[in-house]
A and B are shown apart, each in its own frame.
Chain A
């Protein structure tokens, strides 16, 4: 899986853990995503499995921001604006080669990878 480079346009939210620190102290981005924008694309998750002996409260655990369900992200950048520490970045997708060059009526899906490989779902 990891070898593929996709060129279909899809923007991403990049998260910088160093700038953010422990996300539990803030969570403004997730709040904006869920309650203001309604995309529900940002969640928070423990960075490692907590130890119940030493970590008794939510504050004791180290939390990350995760991005998920990005097809629902409309790329509005509200979460980026809401972050007081500049830890989020909206990365817009590169445009891909126009699929119409290789499309035919009997081909359902056509994709061009970055290295020029053309992929379709048609059985040949």
Chain B
């Protein structure tokens, strides 16, 4: 099982442990600094440094030692994929512990790589509290209450976005969630770091894995429309013309639930990653 869950989960997944949202964790070192960086003027510096430094840190992607160094050390502003239902639970946990409206603003990755700016980045709790006055140049900031945040996340699910949680690094006292975002490849720097460099900490896999029900899949879409394959960001779905149904490559599945959300025939089962022995160490 992933070390986040084991060490910081309190018997459940790390992001569902209320302790990680408590003042004791969020106001202590080192998370205090991460929260101050993201809620202050240096947010862009904090986030874009990862992209600016990635290429210098990995001059040769085929060089395994370097990649391993990056996996653990350089890209530690780690993201993790979550399905929509878990993202909604994180929203509730955050508001329960610290009732401040979230800030919704442009996605850093998209804006600063000159893509169409998309207002999907949610900064939560203590970060949201200070980010308005500390970054006056960001005129697109909006404040969302609990229900508005949930509506936004559901809308992003409908748009086939992958929900992600972001934390500023693992520390001994806990791992607070700092931001919730809606990502796709290649917009998202985290997914790109994972896909291009193989850097695990760019975007960790989620706590779930999809599995296809062959009967339902074959009798549903068969060889015609395969909507699930078009929305998978991680290349984990393959169609077999001989079997006439879609297969999941379990080692590549990130458990983002976009395929499950679009399947009109309810053919995609949803499994806990830790319930599958071969995948318990695949993060």
Contact = CB atoms under 8 A, between A and B. Distances in A.
B48 interface: yes
A69 B112 contact: no
Contact of A56 (B57, B61, B136, B193): B136
Given A34-B114, A109-B62, A66 B48 contact: yes
Nearest to B48: A45
Contact of B62 (A8, A55, A67): A8
Find the residue from B137, B187, B189, B192 having the highest chain A CB count within 10 A.
Answer: B137
Interface string A48-84: 1111100111101100001111111000000000000
B115 A69 contact: no
B277 interface: no
A43 interface: yes
Contact of A57 (B137, B192, B196): B137
Nearest to B47: A45
A63 B74 CA distance: 23
Interface string A16-56: 00000000000100110111000010111110111110011
B162 to A, nearest CB: 17
Nearest to B135: A52
Contacts of B197: 69, 71
Given A44-B112, A52-B133, A71 B61 contact: yes
Given A68-B55, A71-B196, A52 B63 contact: no
Interface stretch (B38-46, B172-180, B231-239, B256-264): B38-46
Nearest to B114: A30
Find the residue from B49, B69, B112 having the highest chain A CB count within 10 A.
Answer: B112
Interface size class of B (residues with CB under 8 A): 35 or more
B51 interface: yes
B41 A70 contact: no
A1 B73 CA distance: 12
Contacts of A121: 64
Contacts of B115: 34-35, 40
Interface size class of A (residues with CB under 8 A): 35 or more
A89 B250 CA distance: 42
A67 B52 CA distance: 7
Contacts of A44: 112, 114
B202 to A, nearest CB: 11
Nearest to B133: A52
Contacts of B69: 1
B137 A43 contact: no
B137 A61 contact: yes
B114 A50 contact: no
Given A1-B69, A68-B51, A55 B137 contact: yes
Interface of B: 41-42, 44-45, 48-49, 51-52, 54-55, 57, 59-64, 66, 69, 112-115, 133-137, 186-187, 189, 192-193, 196-197
8 contacts: A8-B60, A30-B113, A40-B187, A46-B48, A50-B41, A50-B44, A51-B41, A69-B197
Interface of A: 1, 4, 6, 8, 10, 27, 30-31, 33-35, 40, 42-46, 48-52, 55-58, 60-61, 66-72, 109, 111, 121
